């Protein structure tokens, strides 16, 4: 028996047998909820169609998308790893380092705890005033940081600039 015959005969036969077993042994108890229209997984009752949604779940979704994108961007490197050489390896290590530093920043801010309040520094200006380092976001809130945190922000910013420069050139 060739593989083509096996594919066109045995696989559909196996699928029909498994579907028949499912129909025979599966419990069948229909009720009205199963027959109703499915919309977003729940029914909205009168006055309950605008409920609060925690921002923490949105943060989890963004982190998932970030690391999903990371895997997507690593695939081409893995496929051509034997021809990339040291330069390609250095670019990938810088890429992983930037993502790792960002993830460490998220962990440091307790962003992955559902019950915590998130304080994020969006686009910010880093200044040195009165012998203290300050980060002033565009939200006009002021965050005073230590020299260690300033060094972390500065190194992260330099890595992002280097990464953008290598992509553009």
Examine residue 105 and state whether it is found in any structural domain, yes or no. Answer: yes
pLDDT in tens, the chain (169 residues): 677 877 788 888 989 999 999 889 888 787 776 666 655 655 555 555 555 666 677 777 878 888 888 888 888 888 887 888 888 888 888 888 888 888 888 777 777 776 544 444 444 444 444 444 444 444 434 445 566 666 677 677 777 767 666 765 5
**Residue 91 falls within a domain, yes or no?**
yes
The total of structural domains in the chain comes to 1
Asked whether residue 55 is assigned to any structural domain, the reply reads no
Question: Is 28 within a domain?
Answer: no
CA-nearest of 114, 122, 121 to 60 is: 114
| Calpha distance 161→155 (Å, rounded) | 10
Residue 113 lies in a domain: yes
Residue 141 falls inside a structural domain: yes
Is there a domain that residue 69 lies in?
A: no
In a domain, 154, yes or no: yes
3-state secondary structure of 125: strand
- Of 25, 95, 36, 86, the residue nearest 66 (C-alpha): 95
CA-to-CA distance for 167 and 159, rounded, in angstroms? 12
Q: Strand, helix or coil at 71?
A: helix
Give the domain range for residue 144: 74-168
């Amino acid at each position: 028996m060739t593989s083509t015959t096996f594919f066109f005969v045995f696989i559909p036969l196996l699928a029909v047998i498994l579907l028949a077993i499912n129909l025979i042994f599966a419990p069948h108890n229909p009720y009205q909820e199963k027959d109703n229209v499915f919309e977003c997984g729940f029914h909205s009752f009168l006055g309950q169609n605008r409920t609060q949604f925690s921002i923490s779940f949105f943060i989890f979704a963004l982190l998932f998308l970030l690391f999903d994108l990371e895997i997507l961007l690593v695939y081409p490197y893995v496929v051509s790893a034997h021809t990339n050489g040291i330069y390609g390896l250095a670019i990938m290590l810088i890429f992983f380092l930037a993502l790792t530093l960002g993830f460490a920043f998220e962990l440091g801010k307790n962003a992955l705890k559902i019950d915590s309040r998130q304080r994020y520094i969006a686009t910010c200006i880093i200044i040195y005033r009165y012998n203290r380092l300050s980060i002033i976001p565009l939200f006009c809130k002021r965050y005073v940081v230590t020299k260690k945190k300033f060094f972390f922000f500065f190194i992260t910013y330099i890595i992002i600039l280097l990464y953008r420069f290598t992509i553009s050139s």
